Amino acid sequence: MSHLTHEQTAREQRAFAMELKRVEEDARKKAIRDRDQFRGLQIAPTASFEDDAEGREPGDQNWTGYGFDVHPHVTFVSTFVLVGFILLTLMFEKDASEFFKTAMEGITATTGWFLVLTANVFILAAVYFAFGRFGQIRIGGNDAKPEFSTLAWYAMLLSAGMGIGLMFWSVGEPMFHYASPSPMFAGVQAQTPEAAQAAMGVTYFHWGMHPWAIYAIVGLGLAFFAYNRGLPLTIRSVFYPLLGNKIYGFWGNLIDVLSVLATLVGLATSLGLGVQQINAGLNALFGIGISTTTQVTLIAGITAIATLSVMAGLDKGVKRLSQANMILAAVFVMFLLLVGPTIFILSGFTQNLGYYLTIFPELSLWTETFRESNWQGSWTVFYWAWWISWSPFVGMFIARISKGRTVREFVLGVILIPTLLSFVWMSVFGGSALFVQSHGLGDIVAAVNDDVATAMFAMLDHFPLSQVLSFTAIVLVTIFFVTSSDSGSLVVDHLTSGGKLDSPTPQRVFWAIMEGVIAAVLLIGGGLTTLQTASVSTGLPFALVLLISVYSLYVGFSQETYVENAVKRAVSTAKEEHRVQEAVTSAIENGEDSFTSSVALSQREKDMT
């Protein structure tokens, strides 16, 4: 008899579980119908978890031919603008340098405050999304599981934080600020302990939480609308709550065109900086002259290698190169930490971190208002514009590896882990350079003033195995160049193909070559100043796009929360009805007294839940 009772109870529990599942599905469908209607281009031609409408395939408006499969409006307009820029720069090469210098001064002087304010908006938005009512939203839906372990996810986030920029500026920036402190630190004398502290604080600031907050917001928007709403990984998708079906028309095309231009110019800036550093390293090791001609030749050669990597495919090409480079970078930094001034570096990391957190609020909002200077134009404003132009590239990578993470986990992981890695890297390289300079062991400041690209190699000359270390640095920058070009061409190809994941190889080769050409033209047009001007010029309009995307993401999260709350209420109601039904059944079987006690028990259970 007991056996039969257990079987009956098990059947009832299974039936109740099925009923709860049905209630949840019905409640979700009703909530989706009641909210603003959502129609999306599916990331794959199947119904989305949240989509109540007929889906469309990515690239359904594409033009195909000659080995290409592209969205015509986005691709042709972007290409026209880029080709026009290339031709004008080459035609007016003599005037280009002065033009870019004047443009840089004008843009940063008049709009620097806006980029400073914009970067802080991303910090505030990231904090609000992580710790507010949206923090428990899961990318991919409630049942989504992470595709990578937490440790592997952190490792990939670390790889996103490594790149040409850290190699180029890790010695040059701290030494520049050491020799010429920021105007914000009034009264601090150059090349003093106070100047060293200020230099590392500013360097931490430029490579700290602000850039990663920008990447976190962009990546979060891409991931949410791809995995929770079924849209493709393109920037236009983030604007669906505001534009609706207009994302498939003029406004969506404009957003993706700006995304393509910003990404290509941001990449070209990094590639230009990288090839300048490679040229400096070859000069230090082999006496090869530093010149624009040499750098353009290097770009052509390394772009050819990147093209071969593209043709080899993502798994065989960029994946293996990235893994090898991460291992080499880890060995490189650990060697310097162990053979260099270890205690000085570790103590500096601790002290610099505290100083960064102390000056964070003031630095974040400082705009030189009461000074007749434009120091920020070449530093903070340039960096913020550069990070903004890089955001589609880094954001898309982060989005693709973050399915199954909650919003809180996503934001904290993306901001904190790479930021700490950047701080460690800057402490090892910048700290070592400061030690050499402050103890009179070498004059790295002179190398920075002569050519900032030589700073790394001037510092390595004071370490054991300096020739091997310099060659390692050249190899690291070269592979970063190749992987950035390869990955960048994948992202741009994705943006220009309507979100397709399987576009033809010749298309990616085209964009890899275009990245190299743009980098070469920027160097011909004036070198470092031109590279900075290009980033600021594209980052500024794209900053407006990203600001609007923050509000659009807020609306999307609100819609998601509405659905989930409706489902929870429906499931709770079903459970309560089930408890009442059990109480009634018990009363019928056991009499009125049992009914009264069962109802009381049901009420107590309700109160507890």
DSSP string, 164-205: HHHHHHHHHHHHHHHHS--TTSTTPPTTSHHHHHHHHHHHHH
C-alpha 485/C-alpha 270 separation (Å) is 10
Give the Å distances, CA to CA, from 206 to 111, 209, 295, 365, 541.
Answer: 18, 8, 27, 13, 21
Any domain includes 430: yes
End-to-end Cα distance, the chain: 33
The candidate with the shortest Cα–Cα distance to 209, out of 411, 426, 428, 484, is 411
pLDDT of residue 449: 92
pLDDT of residue 44: 38
Any domain includes 34: no
What H or E segment, with its residue span, contains residue 69? strand 68-70
Residue 464, sorted as left (phi over 0), alpha (psi -120 to 50) or beta, turns out to be beta
Helix (H, G, I), strand (E, B) or coil at 406: strand
Backbone angles phi, psi at 266, to 5 degrees: -60, -45
DSSP state of 238: G
Contact 226, 43 (CB under 8 A): yes
What H or E segment, with its residue span, contains residue 63? strand 63-65
The DSSP bridge partners found for residue 63 are: 70
C-alpha 402/C-alpha 418 separation (Å) is 15
Any domain includes 574: no
Beta strands 63-65 and 68-70 are antiparallel
Give the Å distances, CA to CA, from 280 to 271, 284, 300, 301.
Answer: 14, 6, 17, 16
DSSP state of 64: E
Any domain includes 66: no
Any domain includes 373: yes
C-alpha 187/C-alpha 165 separation (Å) is 30
Question: Which residue type does 100 have?
Answer: F
C-alpha 309/C-alpha 315 separation (Å) is 10
The candidate with the shortest Cα–Cα distance to 434, out of 255, 191, 269, is 191
* 149-156 long-range contacts, CB within 8 A, separation 24+: 153/401, 153/402, 153/405, 153/413, 154/413, 154/417, 156/401
Q: What is the mean pLDDT of each run of 10 residues along the chain (609 residues)?
A: 57 63 64 50 37 55 80 92 89 81 87 95 97 92 85 77 83 96 91 96 96 96 91 89 88 93 90 92 92 94 86 63 83 94 96 96 93 89 92 89 93 94 95 95 93 93 93 92 83 84 81 91 83 87 95 92 73 71 70 53 54
Residue 59, sorted as left (phi over 0), alpha (psi -120 to 50) or beta, turns out to be left
The DSSP bridge partners found for residue 68 are: 65
Burial annotation 350-379 (CB, 10 A radius, 16+ → b, else e):
eebbebbeebbeebbebbbeeeeebbbbbb
Question: Which residue type does 87 have?
Answer: L
Q: Helix, strand, coil shares of the chain as percentages rounded to 5?
A: 80, 0, 20
**pTM metric for this prediction:** 0.85
What confidence tens digit (pLDDT) does each residue in 74-131 have?
Answer: 999 999 999 998 888 888 877 887 888 888 888 888 999 999 999 999 999 999 999 9
The DSSP bridge partners found for residue 138 are: 406
Task: For residue 249, give the CATH number of its domain.
Answer: 1.20.1740
DSSP character string of 582-601: HHHHHHHHH-HHHHHHHHHH
C-alpha 307/C-alpha 560 separation (Å) is 42
What confidence tens digit (pLDDT) does each residue in 532-585 have?
Answer: 888 888 899 999 999 999 999 999 999 888 777 776 777 677 777 767 777 677
Any domain includes 569: no
Q: Please tell me the total count of domains within the chain.
A: 1
Question: Which residue type does 606 have?
Answer: K
Q: Look up the domain containing 476 and give its range.
A: 90-564
Question: Which residue type does 88 have?
Answer: L
- E strand residue ranges, 390-490: none
pLDDT of residue 608: 52
Burial annotation 57-90 (CB, 10 A radius, 16+ → b, else e):
bbbeebeeeeebbbbebbbebbbeebeebbeebe
By residue count, the chain amounts to 609
